[in-house]
Chain A
Amino acid sequence: MLLLQLLVDGAVSGCAVGVVAITFAYVYATTGVFHVAHAGLFTLGGYIAWWLSGQGLPFPLALMGAVAVGAAVGAVMQKAIYETLMKRRASPLVQLIASLGLLAILQNLVALLFTPNMLQFEAVSWRLSMLDIGPIHLSLPQIWTLASSLAILAGLVLFSTRTILGKRIRAVSSNRALAEITRLRPFDVYVVVVAIASGLVAVPSVFIGVDQAMQPYTSVLVLLTAVIAVIAGGIGSLPGAFIISVVLAVLQNLVLALMPGRWSIAFTFMLFIVFILIKPTGLFQTRLKRAS
């Protein structure tokens, strides 16, 4: 039964990682920036919600506040930093270093404003409520993580295939020059994309924060797992990245039965190495854009 519980726990945290993965992939596929600062936005979301709920705001409002702040910070980042660099035709390396700088700024700002230590959502009363489904124990925050992540996946896929704006975004990401000719403004589209991704990534951050605890620097590990999933799933495929995230997290949790959890990062990284040795193009898509 322990194995079943580990499996379910893994699937739940995998869904949270999946949202990080699809939002990262959304930015990467459209703007081409290897947006490591995404981990910083993940950190930010949880702390904003923690602060708002500590101010006495009801939880749904705190969550919405975190999403709004994330989207705004993301949009400013794209407009002020990435856009400037892109217009100057800075190399991908320069954009990446700037993104790393943004990550350091976000994480350490959070550490300075709040605390560099562990933090728990004391103000959220239902964070310890449990639900038993047969032999499996699930906490209420876990159920919310699962439900919200699946909803975000479905929403993002529908948005990008069914709405005008979503189609415009796909047009820009598949052929920027052609999109520009048809009077789409790529830089405006980029701002929208980064804002959407940055807002959405706050959701799993908040629920994971409620379920367990938060620490400013752990998000790099989450992002690394997510990016590995994106590469393994194939850059262009959102469901692919999501599925691989879940598989990775489940595997990570299952090896807990075999070896201590502190080695799980080594295990994930080993899987990545094996993966790029065998099938670097990803399971669901073609090769990385700039990796030729």
Chain B
Amino acid sequence: MNFFLSYVILAEIFAIMALSTNFLVGVIGIFSVSQAALMGVGAYAYAVAAMAGLPFPVALLLALVLCAILNVLTSLPSLRLAGDYFVVTSFGIQLVATAVFINWSDVTGGVSGIAGIPAPSFFGVSTEEPRNFIVVTTLALIAAATGYALLMRSSYGRVLHAIRLDELAVVAAGRNVLRLKLGISAVSGAYAGLGGALYAIFLSFIDPSSFEIHVSVLILTMLVVGGARTLSGSIIGPFILLSIPQFMALVSLPPTMVGPARSLAYGVLLVAFMLLRPQGIAGRRL
């Protein structure tokens, strides 16, 4: 039972991450491979704040705001230029973030990471048990999904779709495209911060390997498999992708080979979906 609960909790956390990616890749159509880096920033920010004794809402808010600001600041230079500059920026952010997580050991604990991250209590009930924590992640996912749906229906969301379809037309209509893009990258960053903070609470232990480039590729694969630009796609994807390791456990692989075998499967899925079904299972055309 606990095993199944953990699976659902992780899938819900990654659904929030997939939504965060969806804003960039699905809605405005810019590539991102740095989602795990932001998730890591959120996780570390929450962990450090919570370990310092800050109450849950403050620590969570701190993680969200920090991720939003960081995402805006790092993507600002390349968003001015658009196109392939952002690809380089995205790879760069991911690699630099991993270097920071590993090497800024005073704050991040270096390779050994941070252990014993406290779980919050609500109305006297601790969320340390998965069956309690699943309430938190489910509520968070509902909030995130509602936010996504409302945002996409608002006039702001419609302009964002217009950017993907014809950026020049949006400029011609007198909209400030850069400001719109920065706005959505702040939202995307905050979502990633939320995902990261929940991840840190759930595992109560974080280390740099949880936020490496492979994880970014995994999150992108979730979005691609589930389908871009729809709410259902972002939720289906994580549930499918996180079940792959369970199937792989049936084949006995040496422990060092498990990671590469998984990543290989993600790569095959990415290529296959781009070739055969770029809209994913329940999404729209990329």
> Could you tell me which A residues sit within 8 Å of B by CB distance?
34, 36, 81, 84-85, 90-98, 100-109, 111-112, 115-117, 216, 220-221, 224, 227-228, 231, 260, 262-263, 265-266, 269, 272-273, 276-277, 280, 288, 290-292
Contacts and interface: CB of A to CB of B under 8 A. Distances in A.
Interface stretch (B129-137, B142-150, B233-241, B265-273): B265-273
Contacts of B87: 34, 36, 96
A288 B85 CA distance: 9
Nearest to A267: B96
Contacts of A272: 88-89, 92
B7 interface: no
B103 A263 contact: yes
A118 to B, nearest CB: 13
B81 A276 contact: yes
B260 A224 contact: no
A266 B101 CA distance: 12
A107 B260 CA distance: 8
A265 B99 contact: yes
A263 B105 CA distance: 13
Contacts of A116: 256-257, 259-260
11 contacts: A98-B271, A100-B270, A106-B267, A108-B263, A108-B264, A116-B260, A227-B91, A231-B88, A272-B88, A273-B77, A288-B83
A231 to B, nearest CB: 7
A109 B264 contact: yes
B24 to A, nearest CB: 10
A269 B260 CA distance: 27
B213 A220 contact: yes
A117 B81 CA distance: 38
B111 to A, nearest CB: 11
A280 B81 contact: yes
A291 B83 contact: yes
Interface stretch (B25-33, B42-50, B64-72): B25-33
A91 to B, nearest CB: 6
B244 interface: no
Contact of B268 (A93, A95, A101, A216): A101
A85 B267 contact: no
A266 B96 contact: yes
B278 A90 contact: yes
A231 B83 CA distance: 12
A81 B271 CA distance: 8
Chain B binding surface SS class: helix
A259 B64 CA distance: 31
Given A108-B264, A288-B85, A98 B259 contact: no
Nearest to A235: B84
B264 A112 contact: yes
Lowest 10 CB-CB distances: which A-B pairs, in order? A101-B270, A104-B267, A291-B83, A101-B271, A108-B264, A111-B260, A105-B267, A98-B274, A269-B92, A108-B260
A269 B286 CA distance: 29
B268 A100 contact: no
Interface string B73-109: 0000110011111011101110110011011000000
A224 B89 CA distance: 9
A218 to B, nearest CB: 11
Interface of B: 25, 29-31, 33, 77-78, 81-85, 87-89, 91-93, 95-96, 99-100, 102-103, 213, 217, 220, 224, 256-257, 259-261, 263-264, 266-272, 274-275, 278, 286
A247 B29 CA distance: 33
A114 to B, nearest CB: 10
Given A98-B271, A98-B274, A292 B33 contact: no
A227 B88 contact: yes
A227 B89 CA distance: 11
A292 B83 contact: yes
Contacts of B96: 265-266, 269
B143 to A, nearest CB: 28
A291 B82 CA distance: 6
Contacts of B29: 91, 93
Given A93-B25, A104-B217, A266 B264 contact: no
A288 B84 contact: yes
Contacts of B88: 224, 227-228, 231, 272
A269 B95 CA distance: 9
A224 B82 contact: no
A100 B77 contact: no
Contacts of A280: 81, 85
Contacts of A85: 274-275
A104 B214 CA distance: 9
A103 B99 CA distance: 21
A286 B269 CA distance: 36
Nearest to A278: B77
Contacts of A228: 88, 92
A104 B95 contact: no
B10 to A, nearest CB: 21
Contacts of B257: 111-112, 116
